[in-house]
Amino acid sequence: MTPTTPARALLADDHALVRAGLRQLLEQTGQVTIVAEADDGLPVPDLVAAHQVALAVLDISMPHLSGLDLLPILRRRFPDLKIMMLSMHTDAEYVREALRRGANGFVAKDTRPETLRLALAQVLEGQTYGMDGLRPPPRTPAPAATSAGPVAALPPRQRQLLDLLGQGHSTREIALLLGVGVKTVETHRARLIQALKLRHGNDLLRFAMQHRAEQGAAGH
């Protein structure tokens, strides 16, 4: 690929206005041309194949199939596909988990245009770009998250919250999905940390993502 030939890219985000803004921002870099869009993760693999996409730009939080859950599917089916996460979720655990699952890069939606250009250039060249230099850390054993473990003993609402956290939803998004206030979600998060004998919010995010990954693996 020459510098004068923009990469064929797919953009997946469940908000139409956000997609429109991101499309303009991405194409203004001169590095990509958006040839396909999706408002959910489910159609993304078929769109990648149909449009011969070289780069997939994914949001984390999408209905039915989140960006995090989509990553291993795309990586297995399209090993040469470049994948960049462009999300408002900037917790270190989300960044590291995305890179673990096969993303080539992770950029915040409110990043500066020059940073986006740098990230795109590195990803398209086959390098890894992580916010603030984050890279996948060595794999460490995660707390057990099986039906025989502490998750099974959680109340239904807390198990639901754990699943939504594992999908990559923010506290505000979870509040909207569950029809409760943000403070209620924060209270449930605090109780989850205590019930699962964790120490910090990042520990809970790691546990939730690991649990969801294990549940997905058990279903195959």
pLDDT tens for 186-207 read: 888 888 888 888 887 778 887 8
Q: Choose one of 86, 105, 133: the last residue of a domain.
A: 133
80 located within any domain = yes
Q: How confident is the model at residue 137 (pLDDT cuts 50, 70, 90)?
A: very low
Question: Domain total for the chain?
Answer: 2
Same domain, 22 and 106: yes
Range of the domain at 186: 150-218
How far, in Å, are 21, 22, 38, 107, 119 from residue 113 at the CA level?
A: 12, 11, 23, 11, 10
27 located within any domain = yes
Q: How confident is the model at residue 149 (pLDDT cuts 50, 70, 90)?
A: low
Question: What are 118's two structure tokens?
Answer: 């740098």
Q: How confident is the model at residue 218 (pLDDT cuts 50, 70, 90)?
A: low
What is the b/e burial string over 145-171, where b = at least 16 CB atoms within 10 angstroms of the residue's CB?
beeeebbeebeeebeebbbbbbbbbbb
Same domain, 94 and 25: yes
Question: What are 115's two structure tokens?
Answer: 């940073």
Summarize the confidence of residues 16-33 as an average pLDDT: 92
Q: How confident is the model at residue 133 (pLDDT cuts 50, 70, 90)?
A: very low
3-state secondary structure of 125: coil
Instruction: Please tell me the predicted confidence (pLDDT) of residue 195.
Output: 86
Instruction: Please tell me the predicted confidence (pLDDT) of residue 49.
Output: 96
**Residues present in the chain in total:** 220
140 located within any domain = no
> Does residue 217 surpass a pLDDT of 80?
no
pTM equals 0.66
Same domain, 118 and 160: no
Same domain, 19 and 125: yes
3-state secondary structure of 44: helix
